[in-house]
Amino acid sequence: MINQERLINVFMEYVQIDSETKNEKAISKRIINDLKDLGYEPYTDEAGKKLNSNGNNVYCFIPGTNQSESMLFSAHMDTVTPGNGIVPYIDGNYIKSKGDTILGGDDKAGITAIIEALRTIKENNLPHRPIEIVFTICEEGGVNGVKEVEFSKLTSKKGIVLDSGGSPGKIIIEAPGQTRIFAEITGKPSHAGVSPEKGISAITVAAEAVTNMNLLRIDSETTANIGTFKAVGATNIVSPLVEIVAEARSRSTEKLKLQTDHMVKCLQDACDKYGAALEYNIEYCYLSYAFDSEDEHIKQIESVCEKLGLEAEKIPSGGGSDANVFNLNGIKAVNVGAGMELAHTTDEQLNINDFINASKFVFELMTI
């Protein structure tokens, strides 16, 4: 029953609305208008003020017409960069971007799939469960928007987040927690040609610290990476300052702590060795979640996949999403695929078949 042509057309319209992180106002306005056109009463919070964004989280609560329990459906409105001036086009079974930009399927595919399912229900006057919609801001770069969600107003105990690649049959039953380390190493400046021995090179200290770290793939559950290593200065001055931003991820809370502590210790040991000073801050972005493969929510998702002829694949993920925070707040939220491929790159594309199936998947769950 999903109107495939309309689904694709709306997606093409959505991705042409610039919405890089902290610039979600325009896309949220369009989504609100679309929900109002369906006769619903969406509203927003004030998350943008706390996150320095011009947008806010968008909510829509739709009373049920059958006896099924309430379910949450969620996706995020922001995109990574470069996400301005997107020009989408259809190439066979894919939607791509013509320019040197991302496509924005992450996560406007998820949003569009949800909106189309609601349209289909409304125009056919179909019975449905109580539905709660949350579209978040500032997901990219730390799932910050969902942390400001008004959880006291949500009643659903189960949810679906459409923010993964591939088919909706790709069911993320495990996702990692993440920490970020913001560090400054302060050395001692000195003239590099006259008296370098009187200086303490922050670059030398930082380089040794990073060299001593276990990074990238640590084990099957754990990764770590240095995202920023910044030192700006003249070549005739022993560098006095280095800034480092790093992350650790693990599906094991214990391993996440051990990896984070290890990275901080490497920084401190190098500073102690050379007499440099270390200042750091650890940001706990989100915690991991894991579902038993026999969980009732997972079983229902699998049954919908079977009905749609989709292969259900229960897999772990190396990336976090809003689902991590929903789970932390008592909502069993599972992240599933919405057709995105090569997300966060200028080669990003959307598999149209998977995208259509994502909307069908949402529709089936809403009408059970």
Feature table: binding site: 344
CA-to-CA distance for 289 and 175, rounded, in angstroms? 6
Active site (annotated) includes residue 132: no
Pairing of β 58-62 and β 43-44: antiparallel
What token pair was written down for 67?
């006896």
Cα–Cα nearest to 334, from 197, 163, 186:
163
Give the active site residue among 24, 34, 45, 78.
Answer: 78
CB 240 within 8 A of CB 188: yes
Q: Which residues touch 294 (CB under 8 Å, ≥6 apart)?
A: none
Q: How far apart are CA 2 and CA 84, in angstroms?
A: 29
- The single residue of 139, 163, 348, 364 carrying the catalytic annotation is 139
> Residue 91 and residue 155: Cα distance in Å, rounded?
41
Q: Which two tokens stand for residue 221?
A: 């559950």
Instruction: Please indicate whether residue 302 is annotated as part of the active site.
Output: no
Tokens 């949450």: give the residue.
Answer: 72
Contact assessment for residue 338 and residue 113, using Cβ atoms and an 8 Å cutoff = yes
Phi-psi region of 360 (alpha: psi -120 to 50; beta: other; left: phi over 0): alpha
Instruction: Give the residue numbers of the binding site for Zn(2+).
Output: 344
3-class secondary structure, 303: helix
CB atoms within 10 A of CB 225: 13
Residue of 171, 168, 170, 172 whose CA lies nearest to 354: 168
Q: Which residues are marked as active site?
A: 78, 139
